[in-house]
Amino acid sequence: MKDALIAHRGAPLLAPENTLPAIRAAAAQGARWVEVDVKLTRDRKPVIIHDDQVDRTTNGHGFVANMMLEYIRSLDAGSSFSPEFADTRVPTLEELVETVLELGINLQLELKPTPGDDIETAEIALAAIKDFWPANRDGLFFTSFSIRSIHAAARLMPNVPRAFAVVVPPKDPKALMAETKCQILHLQRALLSDDALKILADSGIEFAVATINEADKAQHFFAGGAQSILSDVPDLFLRKAL
C-alpha cells in the first residue's frame, strides 16, 4: 500500500455504505483507495453489499444468497440513510468497477462469502474482475476473512496482492502470512493491544487496522507499525494533520 488511508465501504457517514454515491463521496473527500464487499446472489451474480442479509441496509428482508439479482436490484438501499438517497440501488460488481475506474481511484475488494460459498464467491467475483479491470492497471487488491476465498484468489489471480483479515491478532504473524499466501494482514482495532502491536511490528509484515475514525488513534497505530488504516472518514488526515 502506498496510501495510508482506505475509505471503508466508501464514505458511509456521507452516503449509504457500499453504494455508488458512497464511492463518489469518498473520492470527492480525497480518498485514493476505497474498500467494498462483494457477495453472490442466488443466481450467482456478484453484488456490493456487506451483510449476509439485506435487512440493515435496504428496505428488503432475507438473505442475499437466497435472492435473485433482479429482486435485489429492485430494493431501496438509500432511504434508510436519508430521503436524499431514495431509490439508490445495491450496485453490481461491474457498476462498482466502472465507477472506480471513472474516478481514477483504487480498489480493495473484500470477498465476503455467505458461509458455505467461499470458493464460488472468489471464483465468480474474480472472473468478473478479469473482464472489467484493465490488465495493465495496478491499484487493486483482494481481502477476506475466509481462508478458502483467499486461497482461491491466490490460485486465480496470483499477481494481485491479497490481505487476510482477522479479529484476534496472531501470535506468529509471519507464519500466518505464509499459510494464507497473503502480503498484508488486516486487523480489527478492538483486540489490538500494545503488546500485539509490538509483535506485528517486530515481524516486519505489512498490516492495516480497521476501523479508525479519529486522527489521534490513527497516529497511535502508525507509531505502532501499521502502514495503513481503514476509515469511515475519507478526509481524516485533512481534518487534523498527523
Question: Residue 103 falls within a domain, yes or no?
Answer: yes
Q: Which domain CATH number covers 10?
A: 3.20.20.190
Give the per-residue pLDDT at 242. 38
Give the per-residue pLDDT at 2. 61
pLDDT in tens, 25-51: 999 999 999 999 999 999 999 999 999
Instruction: Look at phi and psi of residue 22 and say left if phi exceeds 0, alpha if psi is from -120 to 50, else beta.
Output: alpha
With a cut of 50, list the residues of the chain below it in pLDDT: 240-242
Question: Residue 240 falls within a domain, yes or no?
Answer: no
Q: Are strands 33-40 and 46-48 parallel, antiparallel or unpaired?
A: antiparallel
Question: Residue 196 falls within a domain, yes or no?
Answer: yes
Question: Residue 158 falls within a domain, yes or no?
Answer: yes
Cα–Cα–Cα angle for 184, 173, 212, nearest 5°? 55
Tell me how many domains the chain contains: 1
pLDDT in tens, 149-174: 999 999 999 999 999 999 999 999 99
Question: Residue 160 falls within a domain, yes or no?
Answer: yes
Give residue for cell 501499521: 226
Question: Residue 242 falls within a domain, yes or no?
Answer: no
Cell of 199: 509483535
Helical axes 147-156 vs 118-132, angle rounded to 10°: 40
Q: Domain span at residue 178? A: 5-235
Give residue for cell 472518514: 233
Give the per-residue pLDDT at 1. 56
Question: Residue 241 falls within a domain, yes or no?
Answer: no
Q: Which pTM does this prediction carry?
A: 0.96
Give the per-residue pLDDT at 60. 98
